[in-house]
Amino acid sequence: MGRGRLEIIAESLIEWVIRLCGISAIIFIFAIFLFVFKEGAEFLFNELDLTEFFFSKEWYPTSGYNKRYGVLALIVGTGSVTILAMLIAVPFGLGAAVFISEFCGPRLKESLKILIELLAAIPSVVWGFIGLTVINQLIIHVFNAPVGLNILNGGIILALMSVPIIVSIGEDALKAVPDSYREAAVAMGATRWQLIRRVLLPAAKNGLLAAALLGVGRAVGETMAVLMATGHSVNMPNSVLDSVRTLTATIAAELGEAPVNSDHYQVLFIIGLLLFSITFVVNMTADLIVRGVRKK
């Protein structure tokens, strides 16, 4: 008697716990979005000039007489550093993934994987420090640039940081391609190159795309390393040797000191909303592309 009842209760309880875990992600996302929105909403609807916000590069949140909140330069900064980082990281990351999954022996494979995962374990402050000291000096000497804290520096650092993610997810995607595909291709007389280009890459397309997009997400969201490596300078860049400032770094540098609920504080939350939207759009596009691919 009692046994049966207990069992039923326990079962439904566990079921609920699991269900809660499942939907908790959605709850958290909405809660975070609502919180960020709430903090910035008042200023967003009442005072903020959206044209100025998006199309002016003048970021003077603490000016003594004429406060201006234009984030164009920050958007361009985030964009340029991310694009450069991906130009470096995606070919390297996917190349490494192909090499690890298809070319090397089991021993080398294991040691390479451990090494690459170690790369992911380096804290971003340490990356920033490397950017500030080592790469800064290198760029000054090699390119004869006035200062080594710039898009190139930030891009290199971010590329190094996103390569591990791209490699491990890309490698998983390649591993998921059934061996029968490989066997079939080899049986047909395909060379290794043909096997990779015609069989594996198309078969693992979605996974590889996801790998690249997660790398983008990492790059857009990274804060501390870019804060130190890009020079943190509100500037419309003309070349990769110019300093820039990113959206994330601005929030990190200024939020702690902006008086709570001041205009400046609220604008920083609106920048947070903007970042939220950017990542949302990136993920949505990825999702749509993947679905489009599936339909074919």
- Contact set with another protein (CB under 8 A): 2-3, 6-7, 10, 13-14, 17, 57-66, 73, 132-133, 136-137, 140, 144-149, 227, 231-235, 243, 245, 253-254, 256-260, 264
Least distance in angstroms from the C-beta of 125 to another protein: 12
Other Cβ atoms within 10 Å of 45 Cβ, number? 8
Task: Give the DSSP letter string of 240-279.
Answer: TTS-B--HHHHHHHHGGGSPTTSHHHHHHHHHHHHHHHHH
Least distance in angstroms from the C-beta of 273 to another protein: 21
59: tokens are 């970021």
Least distance in angstroms from the C-beta of 260 to another protein: 7
Q: Which is nearer to another protein, 17 or 288 (CB)?
A: 17
Least distance in angstroms from the C-beta of 39 to another protein: 14
Q: Which is nearer to another protein, 36 or 253 (CB)?
A: 253
In the chain, what is the straight-line distance between the N-terminal and C-terminal CA atoms, in Å? Answer: 56
Question: Is residue 123 within 8 Å of residue 220, measured between CB atoms?
Answer: no
Q: Which is nearer to another protein, 63 or 111 (CB)?
A: 63
Whole-angstrom Cα distance, residue 12 to residue 34? 31
256 class by beta-carbon count within 10 Å (0-12 exposed, 13-18 middle, 19+ buried): exposed
Q: Which is nearer to another protein, 132 or 174 (CB)?
A: 132
Q: Which is nearer to another protein, 136 or 162 (CB)?
A: 136
